[in-house]
Structure 1
């Protein structure tokens, strides 16, 4: 099914677009450039999905947040044999993946230089390098211990090693090869460290510039020339380009997954539900109702909803027209770890064809199977708020039921919108000791240089680096947006927007349905009364946990 997607035209890397979806997209993309601790990702996990951090065998090889995030996203979304993705409403996932590739490319360029430094100063003077690396590893292990005394011991041991090395260098004779080699073994790794520090500092400045540029909306471009084939035999680039196109194709799918109390994955939990259900009776006694189907009602509702942005008053209203789409909702278990898209002749490029949508709408209304919903989706606050109202029409025996449910997906966690902060140190002045002054520190501290230099040669063997340094495992079923989304109800204006959108949608749905009923000779008196009652109820609408039934 997915392999039938048409990837033409040729070698193109899609550009970021999607007006109104930039803030959330760039906030998630900025994570790929960050140098924060990996443990920070746990603060952003939602209640229903949590990332898993595999602990390192050697903490010296442990990745930071940007390294682990970029690696995990690339493997999950571009890797061979990957599982189906959950749609990421409010963002463009391909742009996030492209920035992960771009950040990885910058790190590989840095690691190539660091590897050259390690070969020059490491292989030739391996005993000294191992001695220094062992000291830094011991310092990191002691630094994680509880108590200031134990954590400070690492620094004392490192200083003691430097003192012992200096003592032996002075006491050694100055003639012969081995005394000179021992001195070089102690000194030259420090020279290599200083050189590596300059390389790391330059890259850190560039990465932080991209980080802050994305959050400021500066339009930082993702540079991934490896995704553009240079000739017909450049298979790796062509494969990468096709995998990126698959991410976008899957994002455009009209299939979503319902996971019980978790709601529709990617849309958020169901916070409100309104039903209009009445008996179908002919408008005049002695006559019969003209035959019609659920699809006939849905089609008219669809056409009316597309006119929502029109208003008799020029007061702003829906400044961004909502997206009105037909959805196929696939039920999955609450604790399902994977989902799969429907396949077969009725599916093309992850999208269920129109005739199959119509069949499901008319026939699959009771019992097992997929269900049809008509969705009205508002993407607001630069992609930080996604409001979705789902409409379904069912006819069982002589009863017509029209149901409208509200779903809301809140902003991405504040962790992703936090910009880089400079490394500073505040000290007291020498003379005016009651006053303080702040010094700007280098972005890369000594221990970080050692960590990056130790990891550099292993970046060409990612599985080995994952084994030694640990890795980030993303929650399943995975979608870039919903696993790190907060609830919108803590933001007053976002909550107001979600509640306000329900009223015009509900009334438009009812108005469209009534017109179909009248045209087909149905008595609408009871439907009108019920619709008026719902209009009164929705005046005081408030969010509830509609997917959690109290037995």
Structure 2
């Protein structure tokens, strides 16, 4: 496929978060890469159509947290070799999210380099002691996850028993000389290693939380991705990553979308309204024939008028400047697990060429094949709401049909907007027991430091970590935005904005079409009457499930 070898960029650059990525949806999704909550928490953000999957590993001690699992899953899905096509993420910058995933991975890699050194010294040289301590931590972690409270107590008791036994052995060992000192090291070195690992982990955890908080506070944070900047002409790995990021941006600009039945157009949301004007093409002068025209002539006139939507007779704010674009819509099954981009002479850098768009608009109106739509898209509420009105024009026999459909993509799930909360503990005062006092706890608990230290040496072998600790699988067909989007209808003002956009767009489409018909000698009396009826029908204030046919 030609797209796989096309270089979309001018040259080696350091990918940085630009102003285009400063949106609420982009920052909220990017913040997930820095989080330290349990991996299963992301399941709360799943909607009715798209479900994430959490796969458990062999040992819970190797289990990743949410940030580790999310960053790993997103990088594999967007930059991995042989990956499938990605659905566009309207109203946000998916490349920025991927860059933050790479940045979070870079921070963890730097931490893991230090942890690996600590693990090598304290773990390899004094391996017997480390195995004993890890065995107890794994037992405690396993039992702590059990529903039986007594099981958790047994795990804690085992840890305490080993600690007491270690102290007793330090006081009086049955061996002297080098063996005695080595046995003391076996007992003490893992504890010292754990303390050093905890300090390293605490610094990295604070850095990750600063990025997390910075993104959700609106200021944004810069990203550092040295892995995406080739150091030498032969640096194939970094060059591949750089091209992968450029390819991601090129896919985002594609003018092809996919219709998945009741799921609507992937990336645009479900279809909530549809209005159709269909009338017979009758000559204005019975003694003359209609001047020949094509569907694309009508669409082009509608396109030019839609560009002026932000202009109005009153200074009332009104519409922001819309994005008006020609789309090629490909049908796929409701349960399709993947999509693919077309290739050939009519496609360049994931863009269907203009002459092919015109051909589809004029000739591919009935039967199998892709269809042409003119899209008018509004990105509102700091990218939390994306309204898309899709317009198609078809001519079958002597009937011209203009269809306007409304799609709405709601806000990113509220789960992604949760800011990091400080870890605190509250206790009753000793004397004034009716009052409580609280204090901040370290960000990294002892068991968390052990988990990170154990995972550190395997960081450069992610497939082994997936096997040992489990992984997160993203919903398919995957797009950064639509898989975690909520319905906009629960937000009164968002719902109002979606429905208010329908009437002006419908009017502009009809007026532009009737002007073309009039210029080509077509009687517009029937169209005008039908258009007036539709303008009345569009006042209906409730969205419908248009694609859920009751048949």
Q: TM-score, normalised by structure 1?
A: 0.98
SS at match of 1:50: coil
Cα 1:475–1:415 change in 2 (3 A) is same
Residue number in structure 1 paired with 2:131: 130
Provide the C-alpha distance between the structure 1 equivalents of 2:329 and 2:14, rounded to a whole number of angstroms: 31
Task: Give yes or no for contact 2:69–2:471 (8 Å, CA) kept in 1.
Answer: yes
1:185-243 CA-to-partner distances (Å, cap 9, x unmatched) read 11111011001000000000000000000111112011101211122122221111111
Provide the C-alpha distance between the structure 2 equivalents of 1:404 and 1:221, rounded to a whole number of angstroms: 42
Residue number in structure 2 paired with 1:220: 221
Task: Give yes or no for contact 2:228–2:241 (8 Å, CA) kept in 1.
Answer: yes
Cα 1:211–1:496 change in 2 (3 A) is same
Task: Give yes or no for contact 1:327–1:375 (8 Å, CA) kept in 2.
Answer: yes
Residue number in structure 1 paired with 2:333: 333
Residue number in structure 1 paired with 2:99: 98
Residue 80 in structure 1 maps to residue 81 in structure 2: yes
- Give the CA deviation at 1:183: 1.7
SS at match of 2:309: coil
Provide the C-alpha distance between the structure 1 equivalents of 2:290 and 2:26, rounded to a whole number of angstroms: 50
- Give the CA deviation at 1:3: 2.9
Residue 497 in structure 1 maps to residue 497 in structure 2: yes
Task: Give yes or no for contact 2:16–2:223 (8 Å, CA) kept in 1.
Answer: no
Task: Give yes or no for contact 1:4–1:349 (8 Å, CA) kept in 2.
Answer: no
Cα 1:530–1:18 change in 2 (3 A) is farther
Cα 1:20–1:145 change in 2 (3 A) is closer
Cα 1:233–1:461 change in 2 (3 A) is same
Task: Give yes or no for contact 1:21–1:383 (8 Å, CA) kept in 2.
Answer: no
Provide the C-alpha distance between the structure 2 equivalents of 1:175 and 1:279, rounded to a whole number of angstroms: 105
Deviates further, 3-12 or 335-344: 3-12
Detail structure 1 runs of 4+ shifted over 4 Å in the superposition: 18-21
Residue number in structure 1 paired with 2:374: 374
Residue number in structure 1 paired with 2:149: 148
Which consecutive unaligned segments of at least 5 residues does structure 2 have? none
- Give the CA deviation at 1:486: 0.4
Matches within 5 A, 1:441-456: 441-456=441-456
Q: Give the CA RMSD over aligned residues.
A: 1.2
Cα 1:177–1:234 change in 2 (3 A) is same
Residue 190 in structure 1 maps to residue 205 in structure 2: no
Residue 463 in structure 1 maps to residue 463 in structure 2: yes
Provide the C-alpha distance between the structure 1 equivalents of 2:210 and 2:314, rounded to a whole number of angstroms: 45
SS at match of 2:234: coil
Residue number in structure 1 paired with 2:298: 297
- Give the CA deviation at 1:15: 3.9
- Give the CA deviation at 1:138: 0.4
Task: Give yes or no for contact 1:70–1:100 (8 Å, CA) kept in 2.
Answer: yes
Provide the C-alpha distance between the structure 2 equivalents of 1:145 and 1:216, rounded to a whole number of angstroms: 37
Which consecutive unaligned segments of at least 5 residues does structure 1 have? none
Task: Give yes or no for contact 2:20–2:93 (8 Å, CA) kept in 1.
Answer: no
Residue number in structure 2 paired with 1:403: 403
Residue number in structure 1 paired with 2:419: 419
1:421-475 CA-to-partner distances (Å, cap 9, x unmatched) read 0100010000000000111000000100000000000111111111001111111
Task: Give yes or no for contact 2:15–2:225 (8 Å, CA) kept in 1.
Answer: no
Residue number in structure 2 paired with 1:277: 278
1:346-392 CA-to-partner distances (Å, cap 9, x unmatched) read 00000000000000000000000000000001111111111101000
Deviates further, 352-361 or 166-175: 166-175
Task: Give yes or no for contact 1:294–1:395 (8 Å, CA) kept in 2.
Answer: yes
SS at match of 1:479: coil
Residue number in structure 2 paired with 1:42: 43
Q: TM-score, normalised by structure 2?
A: 0.98
Provide the C-alpha distance between the structure 2 equivalents of 1:422 and 1:15, rounded to a whole number of angstroms: 29
- Give the CA deviation at 1:532: 0.6
Residue number in structure 2 paired with 1:210: 211
- Give the CA deviation at 1:299: 0.2
